Amino acid sequence: MKLDRIMPSVYIKTYGCQMNERDSEQVAAMFLAGGYRLTDSDAQADVVLINTCSVREKAELKALGKMGMLCSQAEEKPWAVFGLMGCMVQSRARELFEEIPRLDVVTGTHCYHRVFSICDALLKQRMANLPPAPLREGAHISQVEDLPDAHTRIRDHLPARSSCSAFVSIMQGCEMHCSYCIVPFTRGGERSRPATDIMDEVKRLVDTGVKEVTLLGQIVNRYGRDEAIVDGRGAFVRLLEALHDIEGLERMRFTSPHPIGFHDDLVRAFSYLPKLCSHIHFPMQSGSDRILKLMRRPYRQEKYMELCAAMRSARPDLAITTDIIVGFPGETQEDYLLTKAAVKKVEFDNAFIFQYSPRRGTPAAEMPGQICLREKEARNHDLLETVNRIAIARNNALVGTRQTILVEGPSKTNPNRLQGRTSQNKPVIIEKGDAQIGTLVPVTICECTGFTLYGAV
């Protein structure tokens, strides 16, 4: 078996619920943005990931059995990286490494944003130990500019419900050097893709039936930051405007932005670009300025709050979701309470809460004041309770409103129903027969059960 050094492949098998499916899509998008291709062949893949589910014991056993089997057949590709993801495995990592000696990575849900960088670094390390491969004529290291149509590959390999939406990588790399993050070391400096290439890719996507694109970048709003400001608009906003003009493209999203480089032009864009969805995933990380400083996040709470308020004033129905790290080294109870207060103030529609875990090679791993696991778990649990309460209240407030959803495909829990997504990125279940997959339909939200909305066309 041969290793493709230019474009390695990743295989992702998902067990369990829609949340797991969505998590796998996000992980897949990170691999695509990193220059990998998705494959449906576990035997051929250079990175093999299984996203497990702990809700049903049978699914859990099936997932572990499959990983054991794949690892036992891995002699032909000694470079391959094998990883298990999921809420169940994080608590059993030690045991699993003993049970499946060839297993490389075990990661819980709080670490999904790191799966790519960990696996990629491991694969590159192993590739470096292999004898050099003869260079193919014309071969060159894959940069973001060279990536072939990521959307085509993701569409080929993801369930049909995603066929009307696609991810498009527009920039890569990061120069921020947050003290807990390994990305700047593994992904290098910022590189933006030419706008013409992005436009061509999105037009081709639209020709194949895509209605919604999500622009991806490590710090997506720093796209083309070396380019001149034209009429008060930076390169990223000009790209959004150009994409907005593409006939047939109905929706645009982007992820993930950073408060640094988030200028007025981008805030204003929410007021005059109706295709730009009413949702932003806007990582806050901490509500304490002291901790933000230790994290080397170069903004303060006040700035973050100002931006949230400005965006909501430009787009009143804007849903804001975020990432938060709890238990960062030196985080006191007071710091944690500031984070909790910030969560209540912004009223996030949802938040991914990560318990800090040290990443070797990063400054934070060496910092004094590491927080014990029990304290991290307590803060995580407490904050999750607050986040969920607010998120459910915000969902409940949508009952009785009219929303437009993009119908993505059958509901995973009930194939007799369809699932769509609002502009605010909230999933809505409707009856089958009420709408066609891949169309935008107005619905009235009739019911809300926690995180699931039910609508009638």
CB 39 within 8 A of CB 9: yes
Q: Residue 175 Cβ, how far from ligand SF4 at the closest point, in Å?
A: 8
- Site residues for ligand SF4, window 242-261 (CB under 6 A)? 258
Query: Using CB under 6 A, which of 8, 34, 108, 184 touches ligand SF4?
Result: 184
The SS3 of residue 262 is: coil
User: Which of 49, 178, 235, 269 touches ligand SF4 by CB under 6 A?
Assistant: 178
Binding residues among 258-277 for ligand SF4 as defined by CB under 6 A:
258
Q: How many CB atoms lie within 10 A of CB 455?
A: 26
Instruction: By CB under 6 A, tell whether 181 contacts ligand SF4.
Output: yes
Stretch that binds ligand SF4, among 45-53, 181-189, 243-251, 420-428 (CB under 6 A): 181-189
* Nearest Cα to Cα of residue 93 among 126, 52, 57: 52
SS3 235: helix
Q: Kindly state the DSSP code that residue 85 receives in the 8-state scheme.
A: E
Rounded Cα distance, 243 and 107, in Å: 36
Query: Which of 412, 410, 403 shows the shortest CA–CA distance to 432?
Result: 410
Q: From CA 214, how far away is CA 216, in angstroms rounded?
A: 6
Shortest CB 303 distance to ligand SF4, Å? 15
The distance of closest approach from Cβ of residue 399 to ligand SF4 in the complex, given in angstroms and rounded to an integer, is 36
Using alpha carbons, select from 22, 20, 27 the residue that is nearest to residue 11: 27
Q: What is the closest distance, in whole angstroms, from the C-beta atom of residue 407 to ligand SF4 in the complex?
A: 33
Q: Which of residues 200-219 bind ligand SF4 (CB under 6 A)?
A: 218-219
Binding ligand SF4 by CB under 6 A: which of 30, 80, 164, 174? 174
Minimum Å gap between C-beta 173 and ligand SF4 is 9
- Backbone phi, then psi, for 250, in 5-degree steps? -100, -30
Region of 26-34, 175-183, 368-376, 441-449 interacting with ligand SF4 (CB under 6 A): 175-183
Two structure tokens written together for 382? 């407490």
Q: Which amino acid is at 168?
A: V
Amino acid of residue 454:
Y
Strand partners, 350: 321
Q: How far apart are CA 313 and CA 45, in angstroms?
A: 47
User: For residues 375 and 333, is the Cβ–Cβ distance under 8 A?
Assistant: no
| Alpha-carbon dihedral sign for residues 105, 106, 112, 113 | negative
Q: In a 3-state reduction of DSSP, which class is residue 430? A: strand
What one-character DSSP code corresponds to residue 448? E
Quote the distance between the C-alpha of residue 292 and its chain's center.
Answer: 22
Total number of residues binding ligand SF4 (CB under 6 A)? Answer: 10
29 counts as binding ligand SF4 under rule CB under 6 A: no
Of 49, 67, 183, 284, which one interacts with ligand SF4 (CB under 6 A)?
A: 183
Nearer to ligand SF4 among residue 117 and residue 163 (C-beta): 117
34 contributes a contact to ligand SF4 by CB under 6 A: no
Rounded distance, CA 151 to CA 168, Å?
A: 6
Residue placing its CB nearer to ligand SF4 in the complex, 36 or 180: 180
User: Of 5 and 359, which CB lies nearer to ligand SF4 in the complex structure?
Assistant: 359
Among 176, 273, 314, 440, binds ligand SF4 (CB under 6 A): 176
| CA pair distance 83, 114, nearest whole angstrom | 12
Q: Which stretch binds ligand SF4 (CB under 6 A): 3-11, 177-185, 416-424, 429-437?
A: 177-185
Least distance CB 367 / ligand SF4 (angstroms): 16
For ligand SF4, the closer CB: 357 or 424: 357
Q: How far apart are CB 197 and ligand SF4 at their closest, in Å?
A: 23
Residue 96 or 351: which CB sits closer to ligand SF4?
351
Task: Report in angstroms how near the CB of residue 117 gets to ligand SF4 at its nearest.
Answer: 9
Name the site residues for ligand SF4 (rule: CB under 6 A).
Answer: 174, 176-178, 181, 183-184, 218-219, 258
